[in-house]
Amino acid sequence: MKKELSLYVHIPYCNSKCEYCNFVSTVSTDSEKLKYVELLKREIVLRANEYNKLYTISTIYIGGGTPSCLPLGSIKDIFQTIYKYFTVKNSAEITMELNPNSVTEEKITEYINSGVNRFSIGLQCVDQHVLLSMGRTHTVDDFDNTISLIRSQGISNISADIMLGYPGQKLKAVQETIDHLVSLNIPHISSYMLSVESGTPLQLMVDKGVKYLPKENDTIKMYQTVLKTLTNAGYNRYEISNFAKPGFICKHNKVYWNRSDYLGLGVAAHSYVAGVRFANTEDIKAYFDCIIGKNKVPVAEANKISKEEMKEEFVMLSLRTADGLDTTAYQKEFGESFLAKNKDKLANFIKGGFLVIDSQGRVKATDSGFLVLNKLILELCS
Ligand SMILES: C[S@@+](CC[C@H](N)C(=O)[O-])C[C@H]1O[C@@H](n2cnc3c(N)ncnc32)[C@H](O)[C@@H]1O
Ligand code: SF4
């Protein structure tokens, strides 16, 4: 029987670049974008030759960048190629990322007709000053209109991204952002703590003292506000940054956290298949040259994961989820007891109220544990 595989497709273009963002994406012309789509289709064929015999596709995620900034027809083109060369399950979850001001009714129709059944939209914050300071070019109205467009075409599986801890962002703005999403009944919310990435305009401004990060305590309060409001509104925190109403957990996300197989297509896309992590080149020109010149997929690096690295990934990824770390699965995979190996550390964390072990032997972070999760993980991996 064929195994399951998830596909991630990277679209490295945006209409403008946000000040905090270091995802691989640039502002470009339609003709460049169309050239990229042609090469991406070639990569799909090359990869399918390798993987289609062994795998069926259970989830697809088109991310970026901003996939919705491709010209009309490109997404359809990409999906037709995927369906032609890969075997995609009828029940596959197919997600596409959108920016609130890069869609039209026609585009949404194209995406849905191409099989997209879940949309993820970046709102970030409802405070227009914060949006401007982030370098975002949309308004809250644009977001609301996008939601209406999607819903009017029958899709309810929608996610919104928000960010916490941006310079100038107040707790009130976070509360209003969450209230807005709850009032719109958006069933899935990803809430990311700002990470100041090196080389971004934001980092430069923070370093120069032009922009100030909120105090750590204020950012924690923002996270607690998100957690409390969403829990009261019937959402479950199924991972530290992800909240869903019942029935709306993202299947593709779970593939990453469960360390299941996924294949990344396109420039800068990462893959994890059969214990090997590999990544395509981040350089669009190198991507073009390699596929056109050599008819080869431009892999920049490939690493067989060592047993020790696998253990660390297991701990790191599972403790971020509400399901926690399955000690039976750990024992089965690594032939050793997680509980015995970390007896003293676990006893301390449990005593401190940061971790619990449930009746099925799962180690789970508590509310206090989620606030210091990186420290707990670091300790348990050392
Ligand atoms: C790949 S982006 C794509 C979404 C889409 N292009 C947009 O911006 O609306 C996915 C999400 O990552 C989050 N993100 C990007 N850079 C971040 C950073 N430096 N720190 C925290 N979150 C970030 C944002 O919430 C963003 O919506
Ligand atoms: S956050 Fe989204 S829209 Fe902004 S630059 Fe990054 S990928 Fe593009």
What digits encode the pLDDT tens for the residues 20-33? 999 999 999 999 99
Q: What is the atom index within ligand 1 of the atom nearest the CA of 20?
A: 19
In this prediction, residue 146 carries a pLDDT of 97
Q: What is the atom index within ligand 2 of the atom nearest the CA of 21?
A: 6
Within 10 Å of residue 195's Cβ, how many Cβ atoms?
11
193 CA from centroid of ligand 1 (Å): 10
User: What percent of the chain is modeled with pLDDT above 70?
Assistant: 100
What does the pLDDT look like over 93-128, one tens digit per residue?
999 999 998 899 999 999 999 999 999 999 999 999
258 CA from centroid of ligand 2 (Å): 26
Report d(CA 313, CA 328) in Å as an integer. Answer: 16
Q: What is the mean pLDDT of residues 163-169?
A: 97
Provide the 8-state DSSP code for 266.
S
Residue 382 has pLDDT above 90, yes or no: no
**Cα angle value 39/44/50 (rounded, 5°):** 130
- The ligand whose atoms approach the alpha carbon of 19 most closely is 2
Tokens 């958006």 -> residue: 186
DSSP, collapsed to helix, strand or coil, labels residue 261 as: coil
| Span(s) in the chain for CATH 3.20.20.70 | 3-257
Q: How confident is the model at residue 44 (pLDDT cuts 50, 70, 90)?
A: very high
Positive or negative torsion for Cα 318, 323, 324, 325: negative
Fold (CATH) for 3-257: TIM Barrel (3.20.20)
Report d(CA 180, CA 182) in Å as an integer. Answer: 5
| Span(s) in the chain for CATH 1.10.10.920 | 307-381
Provide the 8-state DSSP code for 242.
E
Residue 378 has pLDDT above 80, yes or no: yes
In this prediction, residue 292 carries a pLDDT of 78
Q: How confident is the model at residue 309 (pLDDT cuts 50, 70, 90)?
A: very high
What is the CATH code of the structural domain delimited by 307-381? 1.10.10.920
Reported pTM: 0.96
Distance of alpha carbon 248 from the chain centroid = 15
Report d(CA 181, CA 4) in Å as an integer. Answer: 33
In this prediction, residue 302 carries a pLDDT of 79
Ligand 1 pocket, residue 165 CB under 6 Å: no
Tokens (6 digits) for 128: 């227009």
Range list of H helices, the chain: 30-51, 74-85, 105-113, 128-134, 140-152, 171-183, 201-208, 216-232, 251-257, 284-289, 307-319, 327-334, 338-341, 343-351, 367-371, 373-381
169 CA from centroid of ligand 2 (Å): 18
Query: Which are the contacts of 176, defined by CB distance < 8 A and separation ≥ 6?
Result: 126, 127
Residue 366 has pLDDT above 90, yes or no: yes
